[in-house]
Structure 1
Amino acid sequence: MASLQKLTSCLWFDGQAEDAAKFYVSVFKNAKLGRISHYPNEGQDVHRQPAGKVLVVEFEIEGQQFIALNGGPQFKLSEAISFVVNCETQAEIDYFWDKLSADGGEPGPCGWLKDKFGLSWQIAPSKIGDWITDPDQRKSARVFAAVMQMGKLDIAALERAYAG
């Protein structure tokens, strides 16, 4: 990860930063791990972490840089922040839904899920923005109503709702 992008998402974990980064890199095909740093002896009166413990893990997904930080138990991930995975096909939706909700993750409503680390994801058809913002409010309302009834989103059902 040579060049620094203007904005980088930093995800706060309590001891699971390296496991989380490795998991996300395994789920996405265009992804890679980057540098890993460790807590030093210095500053232990502030950070209270043992020297040598993983501090941050840099990783990249689809060209987007991330940092996973082992910050401690003070903060937890919540649904207030989520990442949207735009999918072209139902097979792609199924893949990301199954992978990201596996091993203790939690499927949610309207295409949302939480992974095993507590990070929220929206697994959505790439066309959903067009459908929801269509100038024909009847079309957008039908799609919205269909989404509200679903867990994992079903592209064919949403296309039917859009068509009327």
Structure 2
Amino acid sequence: MKTPDFISEENTHLEKFRKIVQDSIEAEELIVYNLLHPPIERLSEGQKISDKVAKFGGSWRFIIAFGVVLSLWIIFNALIVVKFRFDPYPFILMNLILSCIAALQAPIIMMSQNRQEEKDRMMNENDYLINLKAEMQIRSLHQKMDLLLEEQIKTLFESQKSQLDILKTISVKIAKM
């Protein structure tokens, strides 16, 4: 009579494990889908241009080329005969051009930085989903461990009860002697 109860308890125990695993799998499906299928990034022509300008404007090639052009401008307008100078010493035209470049380049670079922030935000969301998945797996392991401990404690109490019954039986036999 004890064997069918034992089989029934084992089946209940296995069913609890199966439910924990099934719940974990169902909860992770959406996370895995979002990680495997990120949204496709569609760029407009303006966004592509802003990325290229920001990439070039933040490179050593740009800094060196810009330095060379400014140096040539200053040398040409300072050393050439007065007749051929197009921007004499205070270099007002050069300052105007530099101001225009800065005024145009700054918003273009900011647009590119905003897009980079969006990419970073999406990467952070993916990191969060990965961490959430790991947390769910840990939680599932905790549930399994709790279930195992619960079964072990139950088995321990049952064995203690049977030991107490045996001790009572022995005690009664000794008392009858």
TM-score (norm 1): 0.20
Greater Rg by CA:
2
Q: TM-score, normalised by structure 2?
A: 0.19
Q: Which has the higher helix share?
A: 2
Whose RCO is larger (CA < 8 A, sep 6+)?
Answer: 2
